[in-house]
Structure 1
Amino acid sequence: MVESPNWREKLGKACIPQRYILAIMGLLAIVNAYTMRVSLSVAIVQMVGKGNSSSNVDPNSCPYPGDNGEEVVEGEFDWDSETVGIILSSFFWGYIITHLPGGILAEKWGGKYLLSVGILSTAFFTLLSPTAAKYGGSGWFIAVRVLMGLGEGTTFPALNTLLAQWIPVQERSFWGTMVFAGTQIGTVIGTALSGVLIEAWGWESVFYFFGTCAIIWFIIFTLICYSYPEDHPYITAKEKQFLAEKLGDTVNRDLPPIPWRSILTSVPLWGLVAAQIGHDWGFYTLVTDLPLYMSDVLHFSIGKNGLYSSLPYLVMYVISMSSGLLADFLMTRGYVSITNVRKIFTSIASFFPAVGLIAASYAGCDEVAVIVIFTIFVGLMGTFYPGMKVNALDLSPNYAGTLMAIVNGIGSLTGIITPYLVGVLTYDHTALQWRTVFWIVFGVMNITNIIYVFTASGEVQPWNWGEGGRNPKDADDQVQHNEKAEKVENEKRKESH
Structure 2
Amino acid sequence: MDKKPSTSKGSIFCSLRYGLALIMHFSNFTMITQRVSLSIAMIAMVNGTQQHDLLNASTEGPFVDTLNNPIKKVNAGVSVYEWSPETQGIIFSSISYGIILTLIPSGYLAGIFGAKLMLGTGLLVSSLLALLTPLAADFGVIWVIVIRTVQGMAQGMAWTGQFTIWAKWAPPLERSKLTSIAGSGSAFGSFIILCVGGLISQALGWPFIFYIFGSIGCICCLLWFTVIYDDPMHHPCISVREKEHITSSLAQQSSSPRRSVPIKSMVRCLPLWAIFIGFFSHFWLCTIIITYLPTYIRSVLHVNIRDSGVLSSLPFIAASSCTILGGQLADFLLSRNLLRLIDVRKLFSSLGLFLPSLCAVALPFVASSYLTTIILLILIPGTSNLCDSGFIINTLDVAPRYASFLMGISRGFGLIAGIISSTTTGFLISQDSVSGWRNVFFLSAAINVLGLVFYLIFGKAEIQGWAKERPLTRL
3-state SS in 2 of match to 1:226: coil
| Structure 2: unaligned runs, 5 residues or longer | 1-10, 55-72
- Specify the alignment match of 1:414 in structure 2: 417
Superimposed CA distance per residue, residues 130-176 of structure 1 (whole angstroms, 9 cap, x where no aligned partner) = 00001x11011110000100100012210010011101101111111
- 1:337 pairs with one of 331, 334, 340: 340
Tell me how far apart the structure 2 counterparts of residues 259 and 252 of structure 1 sit (CA, whole Å).
16
Show the counterpart of 2:5: none
> 2: CA distance between counterparts of 1:284 and 1:470?
42
The answer to whether the 8 Å contact 1:177/1:390 transfers is: no
TM-fit CA distance, 1:365: 2.3
Cα-Cα RMSD: 2.0
* Contact kept in structure 1, 2:49 and 2:80, CA below 8 Å: no
The structural deviation recorded for 1:377 is 4.2
* Equivalent of 1:122 in 105, 126, 132: 126
Question: Following superposition of structure 1 onto structure 2, how do residues 403-482 of structure 1 map, counting pairs within 5 Å?
Answer: 403-428=406-431, 430-465=433-468, 469=470
Q: CA–CA distance in 2 between the matches of 1:14 and 1:293?
A: 42
Most deviating of 346-355 and 425-434 = 425-434
- Counterparts of 1:113-192 in structure 2, within 5 Å, are 113-134=117-138, 136-192=139-195
- Does the CA contact (< 8 Å) of 1:161 and 1:401 recur in 2? yes
Pick from 290, 296, 299 the counterpart of residue 299 of structure 2: 296
On the 8 A contact 1:462/1:470 being kept in 2, the answer is no
Task: Check 1:444–1:298 CA distance in 2 against 1; reply closer, same or farther (3 A cut).
Answer: same
Query: What is the aligned length?
Result: 437
The residue type paired with residue 145 of structure 1 is R
Q: Read off the aligned partner of 1:405 and give its amino acid letter.
A: G
The one-letter code sitting in structure 2 at the alignment partner of 1:171 is E
Partner residue, 2:319: 316
Which of 13, 16, 21 pairs up with 2:14? 16
Q: Is the 8 A contact 1:297 1:429 kept in 2?
A: no
Alpha-carbon distance change, 295 to 14 in structure 1, aligned in 2, over 3 angstroms: closer
Distance 1:445 1:435 in 2: 16
Distance 1:175 1:111 in 2: 16
Shift of 1:429: 5.6
Indicate whether 1:103 and 2:107 are aligned.
yes
**CA deviation map 1:236-272 (0-9, x unaligned):** 2221111111112214142332222222221111000
2:30 corresponds in structure 1 to 32
- The question of whether the paired residues in 2 share the 8 Å contact of 1:127 and 1:207 is answered with yes
For residue 453 of structure 1, report the CA deviation from its aligned partner: 0.6
Q: d(CA) in 2 for partners of 1:183 and 1:350?
A: 18
**Residues in 1 aligned to 2:395 and 2:201: alpha-carbon distance in whole angstroms:** 39
Measure the CA separation in 2 of the matches of 1:50 and 1:21.
42
Aligned counterpart for 1:326 among listed residues 314, 325, 329: 329
How far apart, CA to CA, are the structure 1 residues paired with 2:36 and 2:299?
18
Shift of 1:305: 0.7
SS in 1 for 2:152: helix
**Is the CA contact (8 Å cut-off) linking 1:279 and 1:445 kept in structure 2?**
yes
Structure 1 residues 153, 196: CA separation in 2 closer, same or farther (over 3 Å shift)? same
Corresponding residue of 1:89: 93
Q: What SS class does the counterpart of residue 76 from structure 1 fall into?
A: strand
Which whole-Å CA distance do the structure 2 matches of 1:175 and 1:324 have between them? Answer: 8
Write the distance in 2 (CA, Å) between the matches of 1:331 and 1:86.
Answer: 43
Partner secondary structure for residue 295 of structure 1: helix
Provide the residue aligned with 1:493 in structure 2: none
The one-letter code matched in structure 2 to 1:79 is: W
Compare CA radii of gyration and give the structure with the larger one: 1
Relative to 1, partners in 2 of residues 1:97 and 1:450: Cα closer, same or farther, differing over 3 Å?
same
Q: Secondary structure, in 3 states, of the residue corresponding to 1:252? A: coil
In structure 2, the residue matched to 1:225 is 228
Question: Is the deviation greater in 359-368 or in 151-160?
Answer: 359-368
Q: Does 1:366 align with 2:369?
A: yes
Q: Which amino acid aligns with 1:160?
A: F
CA distance in 2, matches of 1:204, 1:428: 30
**Matches of 2:259 and 2:211 in 1, distance apart?**
44
Look up the equivalent residue of 1:21 and give its one-letter code: G
> Deviation above 4 Å: which 4+ runs of structure 1?
none
TM-score for the superposition, normalised by structure 2: 0.88
Whether the aligned pair in 2 keeps the contact of 1:23 and 1:163 (CA below 8 Å) is no
CA contact (8 A) 2:12 2:18 kept: no
Q: 3-state DSSP class of the match of 1:412? A: helix
Q: Which amino acid in structure 2 is aligned with residue 87 of structure 1?
A: I
Q: Is the 8 A contact 2:277 2:413 kept in 1?
A: no
Deviation at 1:51, TM superposition (A): 8.4
Letter in 1 for 2:116: K
Aligned twin of 2:69: none
1:292-329 Cα deviation digits (max 9, x unpaired): 11122222211111111111111111112112111111
Q: Which amino acid aligns with 1:155?
A: A
Corresponding residue for 1:48?
Answer: 46
Report the alpha carbon displacement of residue 87 of structure 1 after superposing the two structures with TM.
Answer: 0.5
Separation of aligned partners in 2, 1:301 and 1:223: 42
- Aligned partner letter, 1:410: F
5 Å-filtered alignment, 1:252-401, equals 252-401=255-404
Instruction: Name which of structure 1's ranges 244-253 and 438-447 shifts more when overlaid on structure 2.
Output: 244-253
Question: Shift of residue 50 of structure 1?
Answer: 7.5
- Contact 2:289 2:381 survives alignment (8 Å): no
Letter in 1 for 2:170: I
